[in-house]
Amino acid sequence: MSVSAPFPVAFNGAVDRFVVTMGNRIIVTTQNGGVFGHDINGNTVGPGFGFGGSNVAFNGPIDRFVVTMGNRIIVTTQNGGVFGHDINGNTVGPPFAFGGSNVAFNGPVDRFVVTMGNRIIVITQDGGVFGHDINGNTVGPGFGFSGSKVAFNGPIDRFVVTMGNRIIVITQDGGVFGHDINGNTVGPPFAFGGSKVAFNGAFDRFVVTMGNRIIVTTQDGAVWAHDINGTTVGPPFPMNFVLSHFTFESDISATNRQRTLDRHRFALTRIAVCGNLSADERTKLHEAYDRAVHHTTLTTDGVNASATVGGSRLNVNFGVLFPQGDEEISQTLIHEMMHCAGFTHPQRRDPPAGSSCASPNPAVFDCPNDNGVYYGTPPLRAEFCIAGDQSDVRRRLRDKAATESCVIDEDGVATLHTEAARQPLAAS
């Protein structure tokens, strides 16, 4: 199965200045006013493309906030001026000035600007919430919302977005808090349950929403999403697979580097749609993929790969593993990445004489898909996600069990052996 190339989003450092969403698109606006888009299809980020037409927000610090409203990009300047661009397909219309009131003209006092329906909402440093209703090309007069304050904890409150009739605040440590808006009243704050969001410091650079999703874009252009169900934040899942922070020893060829990255990406694609791992297990795996994992060359006979439990180093035997094919490469990489994520397993127990996996007995010996003490562990269940698209999966897993096993030594190094290094069905 081929793997689509990854498409990083807003990875050009300070050049990429603003990130917003419009329908199913992520839109990036650069310092010089260039506008670029990525269409989102399900859980996948499409390739970047340039919009034709006018430049947007190219006046340096004068253009302070960029938001969207319907099919419009709206720019708010330091002095409160409001300018719009209508978007038609992949073309940015010429700028026009909104009439009416100024917006967010109080310097650093006005800290966040978001939109909700036909309203621009400004949140100040002390948590005050002010709104402007938009009627056509006219900005209505500012009014204060009553009720609770929002995002008044200084730099602790890092991102503010909206989702439906909610304002959502994300803190430096990944906490997610909400305020329901009822008319012109801000409801009391409440904490979302579930996963943390955007807690990796400056590495997590932009946060936006799309439908019921919070989307985080990192410095290297990776895109991670969290589905929101009520007041619960789902586990993060990748929408593109950049992995530019993965490193390789100098003796690994460019071809082997690219193939390794491609098979990591394929494994992540399978994990994202596979139910074999719990939400917590997927979260820990994704956290391991967020680290700068270093790849080295392994030359031990009959060994596919090895990694230290909880570590950030993956040793690959390219001469042994790569001839086994793309699927085996992905299974091996995801197995070892699960070890990097901190998961382990006991030594595998082989069937005693007179027994076989044709009649599994997980209380006595280990067989694929028995959900026992070996194959029921996260590293093995993750492998099954990779093989799950094969019509002959049961036969293939039995064959795999007969020729492969993983041993974890006293130093926590997990080594995935193949048939050449051991007797058939030896314990591991």
Predicted model pTM? 0.72
Give residue 388's pLDDT. 54
**Domains detected in the chain:** 13-238 (2.120.10), 247-421 (no CATH)
Contacts of 175 (CB under 8 A, 6+ apart): 191, 196
User: Which residues make beta-bridge pairs with 88?
Assistant: 91
Q: Identify the band that residue 399 occupies on the pLDDT scale cut at 50, 70 and 90.
A: low
| Poorest-pLDDT segment among 226-235, 240-249, 317-326 | 240-249
DSSP state letters, 316-333: E-HHHHGGG-HHHHHHHH
Are the beta carbons of 168 and 181 closer than 8 angstroms?
Answer: no
Distance CA 320, CA 326 (A): 13
Radius of gyration of the chain (CA): 26
Residue 290 scores a pLDDT above 90 = no
Residue 428 scores a pLDDT above 50 = no
Distance CA 224, CA 236 (A): 6
The pair phi, psi for residue 293, each rounded to 5°, is -75, 125
Q: Tell me the average pLDDT across 184-205.
A: 95
Give residue 420's pLDDT. 42
Contacts of 258 (CB under 8 A, 6+ apart): none
Residue 5 scores a pLDDT above 80 = no
Higher pLDDT, 350 or 225: 225
Give residue 190's pLDDT. 98
Determine the straight-line distance between the first and last CA of the chain, rounded to whole angstroms.
30
Pairing of strands 303-308, 313-316: antiparallel
Give residue 322's pLDDT. 96
Are the beta carbons of 85 and 92 closer than 8 angstroms?
Answer: yes
Give residue 405's pLDDT. 79
3-class SS at 217? strand
Q: Which of 372, 388, 380, 381 is nearest to 404 (CA)?
A: 380
